[in-house]
Amino acid sequence: MSEIVLVTGGGRGIGAEICRLAAQQGYAVAINYRSDEDSAQQLREELTTAGATAITLQADVAREPEVEAMFTALDKQLGRLTALVNNAGIVAPQARLLDMDAARIDRIMQTNVTGSFLCAREAVRRMSTATGGAGGSIVNVSSAASRLGSPDEYIDYAASKGAIDTLTIGLSKEVGAEGIRVNAVRPGVIYTDIHASGGDPGRVDRIGPGAPLGRGGYPQEVAQAIVWLLSEQASYTTGSFIEVSGGR
C-alpha cells in the first residue's frame, strides 16, 4: 500500500520542507494551502518533476466545510490517507494581552486549534482500523512557545499550541488501539516568514543566538523530526514530543 500524506500549510516554510522530504521517501503528497496558490503549485511542479506524486488542495482549515471538501478531494485523487501533518498555523502582530481583542484570539484559535482538530478528525475517520482503515500516523506541529508562553509577543499563539499538546496526548490514547499513532514536534525559532507576519521579520536573528546551540533553526531540521515520527522507524512512539528548539 502506498503511503499518502496530507500536509496542511504545505506550500511554504516548514510545510514545504516536510513535503519535499516525504516525497523523497516515497510518499504521495497532498499540499494544502489557504491562499498562496502560486507557492503550492510551484512546489507541486518541483515534486512531480522529480518523479513524485503530488497534488494541491485549497482549504482554510478553520472552516469545517472546506476541511471536509478537502478530504473528499484527497480521497478521489490519491486514495485513503495514511499520514497527516497538522502544520497550518498563524500568528498575529506582536502584542501584550492588554492589547488583544476577542476577534484576534478567535482567529488564532480557529486556525491553530479548531483546524487541527478538524483535520485530525477526518484523518482518523480514514485511518482507523475500526472504520476499515489500515492505521496511520498523525504529527501535530506545536511550538516551544507552549512551554515558554511567549510573553509580550504571542501568548495567544502560545496558548493555542498548548491546546495542540493536549490534543496530541489525548488523541494518542483515544486511537492507539485503532492503529493510529499521534505525536508532536515543538519547533523553536525557525527561519520562516511567519515572523514577518507577526511584524518582526528579524526575530530569528535577534532571538536565535540566545538558544544553547547559539542560532535559529531551519525548516529542514524540523521536517526531519516530523517525517521520522510519521515513519515506521517510530512504530512504537505515540503521545510523544520532539523538541527542535536548539535547547531552549
- Which active-site residues does the annotation give? 157
Strand partners, 243: 186
H helical segments located in the chain: 13-24, 37-49, 64-77, 102-109, 115-127, 145-148, 155-175, 194-197, 203-207, 219-230
Q: How many residues does the chain have?
A: 248
187 is written with which cell numbers?
519547533
Return the amino acid letter for 145: A
Distance in angstroms (rounded) separating the CA atoms of residues 117 and 123? 10
Q: Cβ-count burial of 240 within 10 angstroms (0-12 exposed, 13-18 middle, 19+ buried)?
A: middle
The helix-helix angle for 115-127 and 155-175 (nearest 10°) equals 20
**How many CB atoms sit inside 10 A of residue 170's CB?**
12
Contact 181/172 with Cβ under 8 angstroms? yes
